[in-house]
């Protein structure tokens, strides 16, 4: 018992920045880009929320709405999240393997490529606001053909993607060197999570890479004069579902390895965590057709296979809910909590890192339920392309991932800068503001979507699209979206203020008081079979499942001419 207590409250150690300066630098750079994208994206978010609810339409013309929406989607869903992932995974592999980055120049190269690509993409998008420049990219974050962007958009996307691939090589290389020195040992949990996630990424990004390099970039350069919208959409969603796990895996990584510690305890089960990540690796790609239930040219049977796989994907999320809640309860009981539900009061709700992650997890449960509705082939037609869909994914990527990332930053940012967190009061209220804002905005979006209000339109005053026509006399839904969106943007601004103030703060004297020690799980890796760590096996299973789900449909789309827009007969 005394040893247990001693390990759980091990106290602060040498700050990460002093122990691993190269990795700390890359992590800081990635976080800097990530947080900047968040701030800009959030400002675009409030513009949209107020414009389309007719509350305030003075900032943009409706004709600029797609530029705003593209900027919002791309900056938040691709750059905020994935730059954060790049930083967090650099930290996690370095920490868990106990070795700094093998080659700081190589790491700077992948960071530079990601940043250069992101800047090119942003330039193309924001060019859409400025009349005279030749750039434009009002194609939304799904860039469906036949919408077309300036080549800069696609070239930037490709460069950024290659940057993410090289980042993965960096982490794999660290792992292989560690493996050379530690033959026969179990892969440390954080590194295990990074590697399974990256394997999923390598498999799934093949789809979007082919879409961009073979079809959309040549089309925008005028080298070819048509593409097949069905084929390019299929290649997009081949990547477009796994990317949602690329957003979620950094959150899972934090819920499994950081949250239990912040709750005052330790992870309940390392084996379950490994099983969950393996399931995500093998199941997240062969489900993409669940985004294409309404597309013609894909046989129903393949849509059905995608639906079945999607329902299986619920399993790892349920396992996560169980393991993470069990870990929090363990921590709460150690802190003196008791009762069936009363233990929750013993959790550290005033610690912003804990509160943000716990609230994010709670909202993820709600997002999971609306996701089950999206995934059902028949009931999907009720909500398809309505405001329900953004209502759903603002709970998942917009809160489960985004709020967790902000919460992790409250704990991790001091460790990678060596500075005390500033404006702590702002940080403490921020997760609650986000939670309330999202509860309002997302609830109203779901409700309006059920009544048929479409997504992706700037013109709510059209009668058949209006909130009033759809919902009768319920204008509160409009107001909820406007008020919720405003609170959310306030939340993002508070977060950015805390990070900026910390960035500019002096390092100060004395040791930084951050307890960075992550205790061992209750049930460790020795309780699970070694086959779980066989990355080659799981990657092979993943590829086979992808071939089964996609082989025939893609073959039939290509067989009638890969550049022929006509859909194949089904
Ligand atoms: C779309 C508001 C944060 C990702 C939207 C829409 C609104 C909105 C009103 C729907 C527009 C339409 O369909 O006409 C906000 C506000 C936020 C916020 C006020 C708070 C700052 C986020 C975050 C993420 C995100 C944190 C992801 C990390 C997206 C995406 C879309 C979207 C991907 C869809 C874009 C498209 O249809 O192409 N947002 N959002 N949002 N939001 Fe947010
Ligand atoms: Cu999906």
pLDDT tens across 278-299, in order?
999 999 999 999 999 999 989 9
For residue range 424-462, list pLDDT tens digits in order: 999 999 999 999 999 999 999 998 888 888 899 887 655
Q: Is the model more confident about 565 or about 120?
A: 120
Rounded Cα gap, residues 486 and 478, in angstroms: 12
Distance of CA 351 to the CA centre of its chain: 23
Is residue 256 pLDDT above 80, yes or no? yes
Question: What is the mean pLDDT of the segment spanning 77-106?
Answer: 97
Ligand nearest to the CA of 306: 2
What does the block give as tokens for 180? 């050379």
Residues 273 and 189: beta-carbon distance below 8 Å: yes
Which DSSP helix (H) or strand (E) runs through 27? Answer: helix 21-52
Above 90 in pLDDT, residue 98? yes
pLDDT tens digits, 53-71: 888 888 999 889 999 999 9
- Residue 461 confidence (pLDDT): 59
Please give the average per-residue pLDDT across 256-266, as a whole number.
Answer: 95
> Is the pLDDT reported for residue 323 higher than 60?
yes
3-state class of 473 per DSSP? Answer: coil
pLDDT in the model for residue 466: 61
- Predicted confidence (pLDDT) per residue in 364-387, tens digit: 999 999 999 999 999 999 999 999
Q: Check: CB of residue 307 under 8 Å from CB of residue 290.
A: yes
* pLDDT for position 129: 79
CA of 289 to the centre of ligand 2 (A): 8
How high is the pLDDT of residue 473?
46
553 C-alpha to center of ligand 2: Å? 18
Which ligand 1 atom sits nearest the alpha carbon of residue 42? 21
Percent residues over pLDDT 90 in the chain? 81
Q: Max Cα separation, the chain?
A: 73
pLDDT over 80 (residue 570): no
Distance CA 358, CA 255 (A): 8
Which residue's CA lies nearest to atom 29 of ligand 1? 73
Decide: 194 in ligand 1 pocket, CB within 6 A: no
Which range has the worst mean pLDDT, 2-11, 95-104, 295-304?
Answer: 2-11
Phi, then psi, of 137 in degrees rounded to 5: -155, 60
* CB distance 69 to ligand 1 below 6 Å: yes
> Is 28 in contact with 101 (CB distance < 8 Å)?
no
Mean pLDDT over residues 79-83, rounded?
A: 98
Pick the atom of ligand 1 nearest to 492's CA: 21
Query: Given the CA of residue 387, which atom of ligand 1 is nearest to it?
Result: 13
**ipTM associated with this complex:** 0.96
What is the structure's pLDDT at 10? Answer: 61
Lowest mean pLDDT among 135-139, 184-188, 201-205: 135-139
Instruction: Specify the residue with its C-alpha closest to ligand 1, atom 39.
Output: 45
Predicted confidence band of residue 477 (pLDDT cuts 50, 70, 90): confident
| For ligand 1, atom 40: residue with the closest CA | 45
Of all atoms in ligand 1, which is nearest to the CA of residue 401? 28
Q: Is 397 in the pocket of ligand 1 (CB under 6 A)?
A: yes
Q: Over 90: is that where the pLDDT of 273 sits? A: yes
Ligand nearest to the backbone CA of 307: 2
Residue 472: the pLDDT is 55
Give the ligand at the shortest distance from the Cα of 492: 1
Ligand nearest to the CA of 480: 1
**pLDDT computed for residue 55 by the predictor:** 85
Determine if ligand 1 sits within 6 Å of the CB of residue 269.
no
Residue 465 has pLDDT above 60, yes or no: no
Ligand 1 proximity of 52 Cβ (cutoff 6 Å): yes
- Which residue's C-alpha comes closest to atom 25 of ligand 1? 398
Q: Which of 55, 85, 398 is the pocket-test mutation for ligand 1 (most atoms within 8 Å of CB)?
A: 398
195-242, pLDDT tens digit by residue? 999 999 999 999 999 999 999 999 999 999 999 999 999 999 999 999
> For a pLDDT cut of 70, what percent of the chain falls above it?
94
Identify which of 363, 462, 375 has the alpha carbon closest to the alpha carbon of residue 403: 363
Taking a C-beta distance cutoff of 8 angstroms, is the pair 481, 55 a contact?
Answer: no
Q: Of 163-177, 318-332, 346-360, where does mean pLDDT reach its minimum? A: 318-332
Between 473 and 278, the higher pLDDT residue? 278
Q: How far is the CA of 416 from the centre of ligand 1 (A)?
A: 29
Please give the angle made by the CA atoms of 381, 387 and 391, to the nearest 5 degrees: 105
CA-closest residue to ligand 1 atom 38: 140
pLDDT band at 464 (very low <50, low <70, confident <90, very high): low
pLDDT at 503 over 80: yes
Selected residue with higher pLDDT from 257 and 517:
257
68 in ligand 1 pocket by Cβ < 6 Å?
A: no
The pTM of this model reads: 0.96
What was the pLDDT predicted at 460? 63
Provide Rg for the chain, Cα atoms: 23
Residue 493 beta carbon below 6 angstroms from any ligand 1 atom: no
Lowest mean pLDDT: which of 61-65, 351-355, 402-406?
Answer: 61-65
Task: Please state the atom number of ligand 1 nearest to the C-alpha of residue 70.
Answer: 38
> Which residues are designated catalytic?
241, 245, 392-394, 455-456
**Predicted pLDDT of residue 510:** 56
Would the CB of 398 count as within 6 Å of ligand 1?
Answer: yes
- 17, pLDDT greater than 70: yes
Q: Is the CB of 145 under 6 A from ligand 1?
A: no
User: What is d(CA 182, CA 35) in angstroms, rounded to the nearest whole number?
Assistant: 36
The pLDDT assigned to 459 comes to 78
Are the CB atoms for 238 and 207 separated by under 8 Å?
Answer: yes
Q: Which residues contact 345 (CB under 8 A, 6 or more apart)?
A: 337
47 C-alpha to center of ligand 2: Å? 27
Q: Where are the alpha helices (DSSP H) in 98-188?
A: 104-126, 151-181
Is the minimum distance from the CB of 485 to ligand 1 under 6 angstroms?
yes
Question: Mind listing the pLDDT tens digit for each residue in 527-568?
Answer: 999 999 999 999 999 999 999 999 999 999 999 888 988 877
């Amino acid at each position: 018992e005394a040893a247990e207590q001693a390990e759980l409250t091990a106290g602060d150690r040498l700050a990460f920045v002093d122990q691993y300066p190269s990795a700390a630098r890359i992590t800081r750079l990635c976080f800097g880009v990530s947080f900047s994208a968040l701030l800009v994206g959030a400002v675009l978010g409030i513009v949209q929320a107020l414009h389309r609810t007719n509350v305030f339409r003075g900032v943009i013309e409706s004709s600029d709405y797609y530029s705003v929406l593209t900027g919002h989607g791309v900056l938040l869903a691709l750059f905020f999240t994935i730059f954060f992932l790049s930083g967090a995974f650099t930290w996690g592999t370095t920490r868990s393997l106990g070795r700094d980055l093998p080659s700081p120049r190589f790491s700077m190269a992948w960071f530079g490529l990601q940043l250069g690509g992101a800047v090119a993409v942003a330039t193309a998008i924001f060019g859409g606001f400025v009349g005279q420049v030749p750039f434009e990219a009002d194609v939304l974050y799904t860039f469906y053909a036949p919408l077309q962007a300036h080549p800069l958009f696609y070239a930037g996307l490709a460069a950024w993607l290659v940057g993410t691939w090289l980042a993965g090589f960096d982490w794999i290389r660290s792992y292989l060197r560690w493996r050379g020195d530690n033959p026969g040992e179990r892969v440390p949990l954080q590194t295990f999570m990074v590697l399974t996630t990256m394997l999923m990424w390598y498999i799934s990004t093949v789809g979007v890479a082919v879409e961009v390099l073979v079809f959309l970039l040549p089309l925008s350069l005028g080298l070819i004069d048509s593409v097949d919208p069905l084929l390019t959409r299929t290649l997009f969603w081949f990547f477009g579902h796994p990317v949602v796990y690329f957003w979620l895996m950094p959150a899972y990584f934090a819920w499994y390895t950081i949250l239990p510690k912040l709750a005052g305890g330790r992870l309940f089960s390392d084996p379950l965590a490994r099983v969950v990540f393996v399931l995500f690796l093998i199941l997240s790609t062969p489900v993409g057709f669940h985004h294409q239930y309404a597309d013609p040219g894909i046989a129903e049977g393949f849509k059905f296979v995608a639906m079945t796989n999607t329902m299986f994907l619920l399993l790892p999320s349920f396992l996560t809910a169980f393991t993470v809640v069990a870990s929090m309860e363990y921590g709460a009981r150690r802190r003196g909590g008791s009762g069936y539900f009363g233990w929750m009061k013993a959790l550290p709700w005033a610690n912003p890192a804990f509160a943000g992650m716990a609230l994010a997890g709670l909202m993820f449960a709600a997002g999971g339920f609306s996701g089950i509705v999206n995934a059902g082939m028949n009931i999907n037609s009720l909500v398809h392309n309505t405001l329900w869909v953004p209502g759903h994914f603002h709970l998942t990527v917009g809160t489960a991932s985004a709020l967790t990332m902000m919460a992790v930053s409250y704990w991790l940012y001091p460790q990678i800068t060596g500075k005390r967190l500033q404006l702590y009061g702002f940080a403490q209220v921020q997760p609650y503001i986000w939670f309330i804002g999202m509860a309002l905005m997302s609830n109203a979006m779901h409700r309006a979507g059920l009544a048929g209000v479409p997504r992706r339109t700037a013109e709510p005053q059209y009668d058949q699209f209006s909130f009033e026509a759809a919902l009768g006399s319920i204008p509160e839904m409009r107001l909820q979206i406007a008020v919720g969106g405003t609170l959310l943007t306030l939340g993002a601004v508070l977060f950015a203020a805390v990070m900026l103030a910390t960035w500019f703060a002096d390092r100060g004297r004395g040791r930084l008081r951050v307890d960075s020690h992550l205790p061992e799980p209750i049930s460790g890796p020795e309780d699970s079979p070694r086959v779980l760590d066989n990355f080659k096996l799981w990657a092979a299973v993943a590829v086979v499942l992808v071939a089964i789900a996609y082989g025939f449909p893609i073959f039939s789309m290509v067989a009638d001419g890969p550049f022929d827009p006509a859909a194949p007969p089904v």
